[in-house]
Amino acid sequence: MLELDTKKNNVAIDLDGTLLDSRRRHIVVLTDCINSINSTAYTPDDFHDFASYKSQGHTGLSYLKDKKIPNEEAIISLWIQKIEHKKYLRLDRLYPNVLRDLKRMSDRYNLFLSTARANKSNALWQISESGIGDFFCDMKVVKSRGNVGLNKYRAIRSIPLDFVIGDTEVDLALANYAQCGFFPLNYGFRSTRYWTKKGLKSYNAIHKIITTQL
């Protein structure tokens, strides 16, 4: 990890949906859980619209209800248990140009990774495997239960943040708690339409934030 430079501004960056494309993982885990609970033989292609559905701010539970999949609560419970297993984490991929963009940002800012996971050990393993850990001054892995935005803030409140980059309302909440700027991304778990409804301009690439706003 990099050392803190007090002359630089401080930036918190989310992980899932911001740096890591984990949409495939979510679809595969959902499929496996449905088949396990209901003894069915679905494939991930049968739920190809799951990520886009969630990008409008909807939940996995409502998705199953809309699809009329039985035992939806048991499926979501099993999904929560499985979603962070290494077997599935290996399906994640860095979004294009993430390493380049992190290098450019780390030259100008103190970067802090902020993510919510139930399994901290597996999260740190995945960060190491992806090769992004060296760009950050610190990495905050917080509990994914309760008020997650507040969890993120409490983990990083000793650092005076200048802005947050992320893809969901949890990252917006972190920025609000920290009373700093927020740059929403629209290619992860929330869409352009979602952010527009909230009155926020969103971005489809981190480098566009770097080149036009920072």
Give pLDDT tens digits for 50-80.
Answer: 999 999 999 999 999 999 999 999 999 999 9
Give yes or no: residues 44 and 100 share one domain. no
Give yes or no: residues 63 and 112 share one domain. no
Q: What is the CATH number of the domain that holds 191?
A: 3.40.50.1000
Distance CA 39, CA 16 (A): 30
Beta bridge partners of 140: 114
Give pLDDT tens digits for 169-200.
Answer: 999 999 999 999 999 999 999 999 999 999 99
Does residue 173 lie in a domain region? yes
Closest CA to 203 of 188, 189, 185, 191: 185
Give yes or no: residues 177 and 195 share one domain. yes
Give pLDDT tens digits for 116-146.
Answer: 999 999 999 999 999 999 999 999 999 999 9
Distance CA 39, CA 142 (A): 34
Q: What phi and psi values does residue 15 have, to the nearest 5 degrees? A: -105, -70
Report the predicted TM-score, pTM, of the whole model to 2 decimal places: 0.94
- Of 39, 68, 89, the residue that ends a domain is 89
Does residue 165 lie in a domain region? yes
Give yes or no: residues 58 and 155 share one domain. no
pLDDT of residue 210: 82
Closest CA to 148 of 172, 126, 122: 172
DSSP characters over 167-186: SSHHHHHHHHHHT-EEEEBS
Structural domain range at position 104: 9-21+93-212
